[in-house]
Amino acid sequence: MIGSNQQWLFPSKRSASTHVMNIEKAFRRVVARAGLNPKEIVRHTLRHTAIMHLVQAGVDLPTVQRISGHKSLQMVVRYSHQNGSHIQSAMDKLEKRYEIYANKIINNEQKNDEAMGHVT
């Protein structure tokens, strides 16, 4: 139900006082038409997939937590399905940042040496 007026998100066509609770048949039909195994792909798979894609796109975990409605970051991490390639990608980004900082330090030292009349 949404908001304080207690309206259903998926109202029933047959009755104004009830709502559609089961979309399982329609979901399984869509999964089968997509060539996927309906026994392996369930509605909750969509939630895992969306969270995984957000994390892989670089969205920070607190933001993913707010989007997904999880109460803890631990659950977001569980849903994010990180693997070795994501970890390597993160480490590559960190290494590039350190290279940039190291080059800035070296350039500043060289400028200071030149300003002081030191020749290297």
pTM: 0.54
CA distance 81 to 11: 34
Q: Which residue is it, tokens 């960190």?
A: 94
3-state secondary structure of 11: strand
Sort 79 into a burial class: Cβ within 10 Å, 0-12 / 13-18 / 19+.
buried
CA distance 23 to 7: 18
Of the listed ranges 54-63, 92-101, 111-120, the least confidently predicted one is 111-120
pLDDT for 84 equals 74
